[in-house]
Amino acid sequence: MSTTVENIQRQIGENPILIYMKGTPQLPQCGFSAQTVQALMACGERFAFVNVLDNPDIRAELPKVANWPTFPQLWVEGELVGGCDIVVEMHQSGELEKLVKAAASRAQAEESGGEKQ
């Protein structure tokens, strides 16, 4: 049986684009999660999510692992990007889309077993 911290590390490692949020992308349960997931969806790439309301152990442990106290949390290629304010700001500047598309492109290249030309 893996620990919660191992579970979090595995989720972050296995998903190039991952959001820890309250609720789901279709039904966010807080305004900050709603704004963040809207910005992420606007980038047009697939992403994974974890509903921290359904996972109280992750909700309790992730802030310690990430050294980030609040939700949502956007992780791209194993790095914490930030929460709502940072993600929305990056979306408005166009930086978020570049980051997300680059991560998705690298993940697709890895899945197909080759380097992208």
- Domain ranges, ordered by start, for the chain: 4-105
Report pTM.
0.93
pLDDT tens figures, 38-87 = 999 999 999 999 999 999 999 999 999 999 999 999 999 999 999 999 99
Average pLDDT, the chain: 94
pLDDT class for 117, splitting at 50, 70, 90?
very low
Question: According to the model, what pLDDT value does residue 116 have?
Answer: 45
In this structure, are residues 116 and 109 in contact, taking their beta carbons and an 8 Å threshold? yes
* Peptide bond between residue 72 and the one before it cis (omega within 30 degrees of 0): yes
- Write the CB contacts of 81 (distance below 8 Å, at least 6 apart in sequence): 74, 75, 87, 90, 96, 99
The domain made up of 4-105 has a fold known as Glutaredoxin (3.40.30)
